[in-house]
Chains A and B, each alone.
Chain A
Amino acid sequence: MAAASPSPSEQAARVFELYGLAPSFEIDLRDLEDRLRQASLAWHPDRFALQGEAARLEAEDKMAEFNDAFPLLRDPARRAELLLNWLGVAPTQGTDAEADPAFLMAMMELREEAEAARTQLAQDAAPAQQFIQRMQQAEAELLERFHAAFAELPEEARAGAGTAEAANQDPPHPQLAALRRLFYELRYHQRSREQLQDALRHDGTQIP
C-alpha cells in the first residue's frame, strides 16, 4: 500500500509552510513576491542547467511547488479558501449553504440580475458595468468580514488545524460554519461578476 495522500488541511498547512509563513489572512504582497523571488533564485531549474538531469528534475518539482502555491496565497479569495481547508471545513458545493433559504434566495436574485444585464448587453452595456462594480465592492466587503471573523476565531475552533484530524466535528463549530458561509457568499458574487465580464469581453466592450 502506498502512503495515504495528505488531507486538504495538511496540504493547506504545507502551502504556508513552504513560504515560511504562519497561516493567516493577512499577507504582505510585496513580502510574498520577495519570497517567491528568493525561492526562484534558489530553485529554478535554470540554476541547475549544468548539474545533470536528477538535480534539474528535483529543482523543477520544487519550483513547481512554489509556483503552484503562490496564487493561492496572493489572491485573497483563494487565500480564504485555503484557510477554510486548513481549518478542516473545506468548502464544497451544497451542504449547509443550501439549507438556508434566505441565503439561496438572495443569491438567485443576484444570478437573475446578472443574466438580465447580459441579455441586454448589445443594446446597453451600462447595467452590466454597474453590476460588475457593485459586485467588486461587495466582494471587498465580504473579504473584510472574512478577515475579521477569522481573526476572532476562538482557540477551540482552530484546534487541530493543519493536521489529518482537523475539525472532524459534525456539525462544525458555529463560527467555522459562519466563516464558510461568508466564503460561499463571496464565491457567488465572484462567479456572477466573472460570467458577466466574460460576456463583456466577447462583446468587445471596455471592461471596468
Chain B
Amino acid sequence: MIELPTLPMNDEAASRGPILGIDLGTTNSLVAVYDAGGARILADAEGEISLPSIVSYPQDGAPVVGEAARERARLDPHRTVHSAKRLIGKGVQDLGRELATMPYSIVDAPGRSLAMIDLGERLLSPAEVSGQVLAELRRRAAAALKRPLEEVTQAVVTVPAYFDDAQRQATREAAKLAGLEIVRMVNEPTAAALAYGLDKEGAEHVIVYDLGGGTFDVSLLQLKDGVYRVLATAGDTYLGGDDFDRTLVLHAAREIQAKSGQDVLADPAARAALRMAAERTKIALSSAEEAELVFQDPAAGIAYRGKIDWRTFQEAIAPLIQRTLDCSAQVLADAGVAAEQINEVVLVGGSTRVPLVKAAVAQYFQRPARDELDPEQVVALGAAVQAGVLGGTVRDLLLLDVTPLSLGIETLGGAVSKLIARNTSIPAQAQEGFTTSVDGQTAVTLHVLQGERELAHDCRSLGQFVLRGIPPMPAGLPQIGVRFALDADGMLRVRAKEQRSGVSAEIEIEPKHGLSDEEVEKMLTDAWEHAEQDLTTRRVVDLRAQLGTVVAAIEKQRALFDELEAAQRERLVDALEEAGDAESIDRPETLKGILDGLEEASFPLAELLMHRVASEAVKDRKVSELLDSETAS
C-alpha cells in the first residue's frame, strides 16, 4: 500500500477571517469569496463587480485606482498605469515591442533588470501598481463582508499558468504591499476548471482555453473523484485581446494618417484614447457584422469615423488565433491525449467573447465550447473555491497543478542542465551535486534558469544562488548536495548541504527581477504614509480639468459655428452652456455625462475642420496651426 500520513488534516475549519479569491487581471480584477451559498463575486458599493486594473498617480496626491484612474488616462497618460501585469517581474529587455505601446515611460531599475515606471520624481515598480489594485479589492471585500480591514488578510490569487518564478515572486510582493498574504497561487485556467465543477458531470479530460487581455494559457486537466490533475499546460505571455485591439488601432491610425497627415500614435494621450475606442469597436463586432470605430480629438482637430467589417477583423486576428491553436496542439502532445478524447472545452477570459475565437476553438476540438459562466468572472470564482478548499469549507476536492517551465542550471559553456522538466506535477524537487574547482574555495555560485531552450542566455534567469560557508578543502573534494524544490505555488526554494562535513551551506539569492526585502519594506512604509484621499474629490477635479480642455478647444473654433447645420449648432451651444456649470457640480457621474455629451456634440465641428484641412491639402501642418493662421487672416 502507499504510505499515508499520521498527521491530522484540515478537519476543523479554523475561522481566522475569510480567505479571498482574487483574479488579478491585466485589464480587470475581481474578488470573490466562498461561503454558505458557494462561490460569489463581491461587488463594490455601486454594485460594480470588476475593477479596472489601472492606477493613476496624480502629481499632488494619493494614487487613484480603477474606473477613476481610467478616466485620468487621457488627462494624465504618463502617470496612469494600465497593464502593469505585463511588466511585473520583467526587465526592459524582456518587453520588446510592447514598450512602444505603453503611454508611460518604462526604465530599468538602476543596475538591475527590473522594469519600473518613470514618474519623473520617482520610479514606480509594477508590483506597487498591482499592490494598489489588490488593496482596493481588499477594501471592497472588507466592506462587502462587513469585516474590519485588519481581519481580511489572506487570499488565493490567480496568475497565468505561464508566469515564471520572477513573475510569481513579484505578484507575492504586490500582495504584501496590499497587506495580503497569498496562501496559495493558482494558475488561472486551473481556477476556471474548479469554478465549473466539471468532475460532478463525469467529464474526464477537460481543456481550459484562457484568452485574456494580455496573456493566453491553455491547460489540459484530468478529473476523477474530486481530484483535478493538470496533465499539461502551455501558453503565450504576449498574446491577448489587447493584440486584437492593436490591429484595430493600427488600422485606424493608418487611415487617420492618410486623411489628415497626423500620426495619432505619436501622442500618448491620443493613443490611449484610440485604444479605448478600438476596444469598443471590438466588443461591438462580437454581436454585429460591422461596427464603427469613432475617434475624436478636438484639441488636435481629429474626427475619425471608420467602418470595420467582420471579415477585415477576421483577417487581422486570424494569425493570433492560430498561435493559440498551436499552443493547444502542444498541450495535447505533451499529455499524450488525442483531441477526440477531450470531453469538455471551457472558455475563459474576456477575449473568448469574440465569436471568431469561439468558432475556431469549437472547430479545433470538434465540440461546442462551454461558456455559461461569465468568462470574466470564472477565474475569481475558481480562486474562491480553492480558498474554500484551503479553509476547510470545501471538502472532497483537490487541485494538482504542474510547473509550466523547465527549471535548470547553467553548466560550463553556457549550456543548461535541466533539473525539473516542464509539466512536472508540483510540489516537485530535484537533487544535484556540486563541488569546488579551486583549493580552499568556500563559496560556489549557481545560475538558476527557467525555460525550454538549450542555451542559458535564451532562458529566463532567476538569479545567482551563492552557496557560502563551504569548509575549506582541496578542490573537487567538497560534495555539495543542492536541493531545488518547487512548492505547490510553483515557486522555487533552494537548500544546500555539504555532505562530507554535514555543514548546511548558507544560500543567498540575488534577485534579478524581483525586489529585495528592504525595498518591499520601504514601499510598505511609503504606502501607509500616503493618507487615504477622497476619491470622489479627485475624480471631480480631474473631470473639470478635462472639460476645461475640451471647451477651450471648441471655443477656439467659434468662427466656424455658423457653418454647422442649425440643429448641430444648437446642440453644441447647449452642451457648452452645460459645461459652463461644471464648477458648481460635484457629482462625478454628472460631470462625466456632460463631458461625453460635449464630445458627441462637437463631432460635426471636428468633421468640418478635418474636411477643411484635407481640402487645403496641407498635410504636414498641425490642424491647430492651420486654424490659427486662418482665424488670424
Contact = CB atoms under 8 A, between A and B. Distances in A.
A42 B502 contact: no
Interface stretch (A62-70, A79-87, A160-168, A185-193): A62-70
B493 to A, nearest CB: 9
Contacts of B488: 44-46, 60, 63
Interface in A1-26: 1-2, 5, 18-20
A207 interface: yes
B617 interface: no
Interface string A148-188: 00000000000000000000000000000000000000000
Interface string B543-573: 0000000000000000000000000000000
B356 to A, nearest CB: 21
Interface of B: 1-5, 7-10, 12-14, 183-184, 222, 224-225, 227, 229, 326, 329-330, 333, 389-392, 398-400, 424-430, 481, 485-488, 497, 499-502
A58 interface: yes
Contact of A64 (B2, B329, B392, B427): B427
A2 B333 CA distance: 43
Given A20-B2, A51-B9, A204-B326, 6 more contacts: A36-B229, A46-B398, A58-B7, A62-B5, A63-B427, A67-B426
9 contacts: A2-B497, A5-B499, A19-B2, A37-B225, A38-B2, A39-B2, A45-B427, A65-B429, A201-B330
Given A37-B229, A45-B487, A51 B400 contact: no
A2 B499 contact: yes
B4 A42 contact: yes
Contacts of B5: 42-43, 59, 62
A37 B224 contact: yes
A49 interface: yes
B7 A1 contact: no
A172 to B, nearest CB: 25
A50 B10 contact: yes
Contacts of B398: 40-41, 44, 46-47
A55 B7 contact: yes
A47 B391 CA distance: 10
Nearest to B326: A204
A67 B326 CA distance: 28
Closest 10 CB pairs of A and B: A67-B425, A49-B390, A64-B427, A64-B429, A2-B502, A20-B1, A60-B427, A20-B2, A47-B9, A42-B4
Interface residues of A, number: 41
A42 B8 CA distance: 10
Most buried by B among A37, A38, A64: A64
Nearest to A65: B429
A63 B224 CA distance: 18
B10 A67 contact: no
A60 B487 contact: yes
A204 B390 CA distance: 42
A40 B502 CA distance: 32
B377 to A, nearest CB: 23
Contact of A68 (B10, B184, B429, B497): B429
Contacts of B430: 68
Contacts of B497: 2
A64 B400 contact: no
Contact of A207 (B333, B486, B502): B333
A48 interface: yes
Contacts of A58: 7
Most buried by A among B7, B225, B330, B486: B7
B2 A18 contact: yes
A99 to B, nearest CB: 28
A81 to B, nearest CB: 15
Contacts of B3: 18, 20, 39, 62
Contacts of A37: 224-225, 227, 229
A20 B4 CA distance: 11
B227 A40 contact: yes
A18 B63 CA distance: 54
A47 B7 CA distance: 10
A35 interface: yes
A34 to B, nearest CB: 8
Contacts of A20: 1-3
Contacts of B429: 61, 64-65, 68
A40 B400 contact: yes
B428 A68 contact: yes
A39 B2 CA distance: 7
Contacts of A67: 424-428
Contacts of B13: 50
B439 to A, nearest CB: 21
B227 A41 contact: yes
B499 to A, nearest CB: 5
A207 B334 CA distance: 12
B502 A64 contact: no
Nearest to B429: A64
A121 B147 CA distance: 64
Nearest to A47: B9
Contacts of A39: 2-3
Contact of A49 (B7, B10, B333): B10
A61 B577 CA distance: 71
Contact of B500 (A1, A61, A62, A64): A1
A34 B464 CA distance: 39
B7 A51 contact: yes
B19 to A, nearest CB: 9
Contact of B428 (A59, A64, A201): A64
B514 to A, nearest CB: 22
Contacts of A18: 2-3
A19 B1 CA distance: 7
A144 to B, nearest CB: 19
Most buried by A among B398, B425, B429, B502: B425
A59 B9 CA distance: 10
Contacts of B184: 46, 49
A72 to B, nearest CB: 11
A112 B32 CA distance: 58
B390 A46 contact: yes
B129 to A, nearest CB: 29
Contacts of A207: 329, 333
Given A46-B390, A46-B399, A50-B14, A59 B7 contact: yes
